[in-house]
Amino acid sequence: MRNRLILLPGWGLGVSPMEPLAAALQGLDEHLKVDIEPLPELDSSDLQDWLDELDESIPQDVWLGGWSLGGMLASELAARRGERCCGLLTLASNPSFVAHEQWPNAMPGETFDAFLAGCQADPRTTLKRFSLLCAQGAQDPRGLSRLLLGGAPNTAPSALMAGLELLAQMDTREALQAFRGPQFHLFAGQDGLVPAEAAGALFALLPDIEIGLIEQACHAFLLEDPHGLAGAIQAFLHECGDD
């Protein structure tokens, strides 16, 4: 099913931010089938539990892609599936969301801990703050933030916490190195959550894969410029199809 792409959304905001991109991709290529798979709603922050759930609900032999946390999960699932995955694409997705010694180009630990504490105390306010960070660097950050928040599902606080705890511990570098299929990783130059420097760090780690940086774009670039993003993805898929 080389003509099928499954997209995974990011933390907390549901599938609606992905819908304009999916529609733009379908509009560019009528033979490409694009589906958005909601993230599991689990109380567990064990990565294997999340991957088991996704592995069961996503067909084999498809392209896997995702935004932010969704891209990290797609990376891990691609590595788990190996040759049973056509290829991988991630959008504004850092191999490690939280900075550590081996991967400094990420969110500082103290910032993330404050986020975690905020989510425990007041999930709705934290989600609002998160949507503002996603829209930081956009042409109309407040409008984009409202759009993100307006489509957010009513997720149980325990599932939101589990997703954040998962985000804190994930490091997909090994998975990305292990997966031998085609990879395309797109970053945003004005991202308020994933530093643009992560693109260069990933290229240093994996010089044989495709990495792109859209300079004037925020973390929510898939909602800000779905057609531009779709064009870049379509060019990559087309190139892989010609190999």
Residues 16, 151 contacting (CB under 8 angstroms): yes
Short-list 95, 160, 175, 87, CA closest to 121: 160
pLDDT tens profile 184-227: 999 999 999 999 999 999 999 999 999 999 999 999 999 999 99
Per-domain residue ranges of the chain:
4-241
Question: What is the C-alpha to C-alpha distance for residues 216 and 237, in angstroms, rounded to an integer?
Answer: 23
Residue 1's pLDDT is 53
CATH of 4-241 among 3.40.710.10, 3.40.50.1820, 3.40.50.300, 3.40.50.460: 3.40.50.1820
User: What percentage of the chain carries pLDDT values higher than 70?
Assistant: 99
Q: Which residues contact 54 (CB under 8 A, 6 or more apart)?
A: 8, 37, 40, 73, 77
Asked whether residue 143 carries a pLDDT value surpassing 90, the answer given is yes
Indicate whether 124 pLDDT > 80.
yes
Max Cα-Cα span within the chain: 51
Gap between the Cα atoms of 97 and 93, Å rounded: 8
Q: Report yes or no on whether pTM surpasses 0.95.
A: yes
At 83-111, the pLDDT tens digits run: 999 999 999 999 999 999 999 999 999 99
DSSP state of 188: E
Q: What's the pLDDT at 242? A: 58
Give pLDDT, residue 240. 87
35-56 pLDDT, tens digit each: 999 999 999 999 999 999 999 9
Q: How far apart are CA 95 and CA 205, in angstroms?
A: 11
Give the residue-averaged pLDDT of 128-154. Answer: 95
| Residue found under tokens 């990559």 | 236
Count CB-CB contacts under 10 A for residue 241: 12
What mean pLDDT do residues 234-238 have?
Answer: 92
CA distance 120 to 193: 20
Confidence band for 2, pLDDT divided at 50, 70 and 90: confident
Q: Count helices and strands (H / E) in the chain.
A: 11, 6
The alpha-helical segments, DSSP class H, found in 136-156 are 141-150
- Beta-strand ranges (E) seen in the chain are 4-8, 33-36, 62-67, 85-91, 183-188, 210-214
Q: Which helix (H) or strand (E) holds 208?
A: none
Indicate the residue type of 68.
Answer: S
Q: Does residue 146 carry a pLDDT above 90?
A: yes
What integer is the mean pLDDT of 167-179?
97
* Residue range 75-85: mean pLDDT, rounded: 97
Q: What is the pLDDT of residue 144?
A: 96
Percent of the chain with pLDDT over 90: 95
- Residues 78 and 197: beta-carbon distance below 8 Å: no
| Nearest-angstrom CA–CA distance, 135 and 93 | 15
